[in-house]
Amino acid sequence: MSSESRSRRYPITQYQNGSDVPSEDSVAVEEPLQITLDGHPIAVVMRTPCDDLDLVRGFLLTEAILPDLDGVMRIDVDQNKNHALVFLKDDVTVDFQRHQRNLYSASSCGICGKATIDSIRQDHPKLGGASTVCSKVLLSLPDRLRDAQRVFNKTGGLHAAGLFSNDGTLLVLREDVGRHNAIDKVLGYAAQQTICLSEVILQVSGRVSFEVMQKAHALGVPIVSAISAPTSLAVEFAQESGQTLIGFLRPPRFNCYAGSERVS
């Protein structure tokens, strides 16, 4: 989908220096997407309508609905109706009661639709591995991420998530009105392309919440880096999960809240 279809132009009145002038502005598109799994509606996410296949794949994995994509027979996305239909292979079973969300997932919220506290925490092993990153590479990531944000440059209204190799090479970037959606999109793409996620850095344009760390951990991403602040639960989760958490990445400095042994 082109960047033009991810934004819309609206007539506005611009006020500046005591005067008002008719003008136009580009606004990021936000629309619902209903995800249905073998006939069972499991979520409605408010998203920017692009890279929907990546979004659905990532959502199924980061929410621990499926352990991998091997059980998916096909995914049909109807963007006119904002429906994503996921069809599973015959031998795949899913606990729909455990995973079904209440109402919808807003673009700004990843876990607010979940029904119980127990469903928030997922059971994943502690991450190990010897993946490391040079501090100079980390300091280069905000500019590299921003340079690739085509729709943000037009609208100023989208979050971004990018997967980088440890030498700073951009592997994939996705934009969305919801930061959780942007993360699902890059992780869904990476899973489909069988990118080795134990040797990448997840760079995000905003803050880091508990669920950002959990989504990364679900697919084995060891390093999460953010331009803005982490939350207390994000820090505690990173300490428990064995992940590296970088916050306030604003050259020439950054804070490492957990897993400093991976930063050289």
In the chain the domains, ranked by start, together with CATH numbers, are 31-99 (3.10.20.10), 135-262 (3.40.140.10)
Express as a percent the part of the chain with pLDDT over 90.
67
Residues contacting residue 132 through CB under 8 Å, at least 6 positions apart: 166, 261, 262, 263, 264
Model confidence pLDDT, tens digit, residues 139-179: 999 999 998 887 666 667 689 999 999 999 999 999 999 99
Q: Which of 91-95, 99-103, 132-136, 170-174 bottoms out in mean pLDDT, i.e. has the lowest?
A: 99-103
pLDDT of residue 1: 47
- Active site residue ranges: 109
Kindly list the distances between the CA atom of residue 89 and the CA atoms of 69, 138, 247, 251, in Å, as whole numbers in the listed order: 10, 41, 41, 48
Which comes out higher in pLDDT, residue 91 or 104? 91
